[in-house]
Amino acid sequence: LGLVHRLDRPVSGVIMFAKTNKGHHRMNNLFKRREIEKTYYAVVRKRPEPIEGRLVHWLLKNPQKNVTKAHDHEVPGSQRSELNYRLAGELEGYYLIEVNPITGRPHQIRVQLSTLGTPIVGDNKYGYPRGSLKNSISLHARRLRFIHPIKKEPVEIVAALPKDGFWEKFEARVAPYNLLQHAFYQAWSKGELTREDLREYAGEYWHQVSAFPTYLSALHSRLPDGELRREVLRNLAEEE
């Protein structure tokens, strides 16, 4: 087995292995060409401002201390690092942020969100207050999407959230969004939606929980007429 997608030790979620050397090489090439879409969930205590955007820093890792520092300009030995983020939900004084890293640097999401002023819950190394009730970092590798290098078919890998009494609260809040997003991805992969359709309709209401019914009404007629569509509608009814 060859490790393709790895995580920091305190992070949960998707990891991926290749069964053969050829598969390992092909998957590594997809990552190098940035043809794999990565989605992470992070929980923070401070509302991000702005609530969505792109972060660009130059990261420099200290291997002796195993700490990465973010700079707003290039410095010797640093690597350019980019990610997109959006506020996905709020619950009991905590905020759920969906993160899509464009690059893959050591501790990238942790240090870049800390630089934004929103350290991840439990991440004492990057600014979260010590003495918190959380004994782990609230960062989860939620999803990988890519086109299979041989079969040329879309692949989506989703990791369930940890069952720790904390993540489940957010799972209930974002479940309708996850179902709808999955439905759109499946429809697009079958040629029933174009990338332009997704880009046009997915942005305006995506981060607003209160606007979910408006978002669905604008798009439900484009969904495939099947079980996924019915499941989305059932969850919407429960949400209301």
Residues with a catalytic annotation lie at: 8
The Cα 34–Cα 122 span in angstroms is 29
The Cα 232–Cα 2 span in angstroms is 37
- CB contact set of 22 (below 8 Å; sequence gap of 6+): none
